[in-house]
Structure 1
Amino acid sequence: MVGVEVKGTTRLLGLIGDPIAQAKTPSVINPIFASRGADIACVPLQVPAADLQKIWAGLKATSNLIGFGITLPHKQMAIDLCDSLDPVAARVGAVNLVRRERDGSFRGYQFDGRGFVRGLQAKRITIKNRDVLMIGAGGAAVAMAFALIEAGAKSITVSNRTLEKAEALASVINGDFGRLVAKAGSPRPQTGQLIINATSLGLNETDALPLDPGLLHPGMTLAEVIAQPEITPLLSQAQARGIEIHSGIHMIKGQVDLIADHICELWS
């Protein structure tokens, strides 16, 4: 790890997912730990979904591992494996950080939503009073939907390959806010919308596009949760059509300092 000195005393923060080669968090958060003088290093760990439960037990038994970030496809499955949950993680039903508490227990936290909104705000992308089209209904999508409504988004249309999952997410959002702010719908952008690809489509060059770029028009904003590649094929096509684009790297940058704060609070 360039610029990070890993010693026998170094505490480890893992990052679990499958695939994991695209992960940007270690390269972004390790300099933050170093700048704070924290003897902590973040390392990627490829964990297949079928092996999550047994690997989880191994992570818990590794006493110098002070937690781990979570990416696809584990964010929702991790809920049932945590010993306790932060209220935000419990609310959205997904975890993207597990921290080892002082008593050795694993507590789940959720920073995806706040990180995504902070990334948009850093780039001065309008959220307030704007309609949102969310493609995907996984763990990150749930967290982002809550955070976007709290940041002033007017409405959210959820599009997913499985209609029932989109309807379930819309129902959860409406129930939580006590008003009709979300609905299930098709991946057909409308004028002026903030459009978010919250799926994994785009990690590989051979992936199908999550929506038809021909439906995109100036005045819309297309945002990704994918950080590697920073410009996905969908973003590239949107940019060529004069659409405002927003890479998933900004979501990572929007939350790493929050995650670092949370880890260093106990373990620096």
Structure 2
Amino acid sequence: MVAPALAVNGSTKIMGVIGDPIAQVMTPTTINPIFAARGANIVCVPLHIDARELDTAWAGLKALRNLIGFGITLPHKQAALALCDSLDPLAKRVGAVNLVRREADGTFRGYQFDGKGFVRGLKAQGHTLSGSHCLMVGAGGAAIAIAFALAEEGAASLTIANRTRTKAEELADAVNRAMGRSFARAGDPRPTPGEIIINATSLGLSASDPLPIDASLVDETMLVAEVIAKPEVTPLLQAAHARGARVHSGIHMIRGQVDLIAAHIAEVQTDS
């Protein structure tokens, strides 16, 4: 059943999604029908904000009294951390924010749903994480959240490959300390049989991007997963499928968290 379209009026609350670029975001497409089905007078729209203008834009966002919150995508997830008035404990531990909500007192509080969304998306598609061995390319905002979520879900190990190796080492150390076990390590982007391969970088947003891993190393024993939702089938997933691997689109991460985000945003909706 298709949810009825929401009529936008003077009492409509706005949820933004900020990023640069922004054309790839799928959150408005997936969350607006949820708001409509809930009868919440909220509409989600994309907001293109350059990284160099985030501080200026943040002040403007706070001045919009009918802005109830906003999602955050690349490249703002870590920079937004210092701009929030307060942080949910998970966002503080992860060190990255993917949702900011205007609280009842008007302050901006940062939250983190990327890791939960990624895990929920995998499980919804029938994939098992407990006891799995994973290779993740990337160590930025979404990657940090996913690393913690994989550990909490009971994955056996995680190799983190990143262009700047020190960032991978720092992330591995942080996860190991938090989990109290030797779970993550920095390494090279070389998949081995049976692994879950995760692209947590922006490589794949453009068709001209290089692949984050050497596709010739992929085989039918692997699951290759994306955080990129648009295109739903990235060049990496195309190459992995051609090699016989199972593939998992980033759209499942969006769907895995969008209902959580919708409920969280709608909690503070007020009529004015």
TM range (shorter): over 0.9
Q: Give CA deviations for 1:167-207 in whole Å, capped at 9, x if unaligned.
A: 01001011111121110000000110000000000000011
Match of 1:179 among 178, 181, 188: 181
- Alignment of 1:140 with 2:181, yes or no, is no
Alpha-carbon distance between aligned partners in 1 of 2:199 and 2:10, rounded to the nearest angstrom: 41
Q: Report the CA distance between 1:62 and its aligned residue.
A: 0.4
Alpha-carbon distance between aligned partners in 1 of 2:228 and 2:52, rounded to the nearest angstrom: 23
- Alignment of 1:158 with 2:160, yes or no, is yes
Q: Flag as ranges the 4+ runs of structure 1 deviating above 4 A.
A: none
Instruction: Give the count of matched residue pairs.
Output: 267
Match of 1:234 among 236, 251, 261: 236
Within a 5 Å distance, the mapping from 1:55-66 to structure 2 comes to 55-66=57-68
Q: Report the CA distance between 1:240 and its aligned residue.
A: 1.0
Q: Give CA deviations for 1:102-157 in whole Å, capped at 9, x if unaligned.
A: 11000000000000000000001121101110100001000011111111100110
SS, match of residue 102 in structure 1: coil
SS, match of residue 267 in structure 1: coil
Alpha-carbon distance between aligned partners in 2 of 1:152 and 1:134, rounded to the nearest angstrom: 16
Counterpart in the other structure of 2:112? 110
Q: Which amino acid aligns with 1:209?
A: L
Gaps of 5+ in 1: none
TM-score between the two structures when normalised by the length of structure 1: 0.98
TM-score between the two structures when normalised by the length of structure 2: 0.97
Q: Give CA deviations for 1:12-60 in whole Å, capped at 9, x if unaligned.
A: 0000000000010000000000001110000000001000001000000
SS, match of residue 198 in structure 2: strand
Counterpart in the other structure of 1:167? 169
Match of 1:252 among 243, 254, 259: 254
Q: Report the CA distance between 1:68 and its aligned residue.
A: 0.2
Counterpart in the other structure of 1:204? 206
Alpha-carbon distance between aligned partners in 1 of 2:213 and 2:5, rounded to the nearest angstrom: 40
Gaps of 5+ in 2: none
Report sequence identity in percent.
63
Query: Is the Cα contact below 8 Å between 2:6 and 2:41 reproduced in 1?
Result: no
Within a 5 Å distance, the mapping from 1:26-105 to structure 2 comes to 26-105=28-107
RMSD: 0.9
SS, match of residue 133 in structure 1: strand
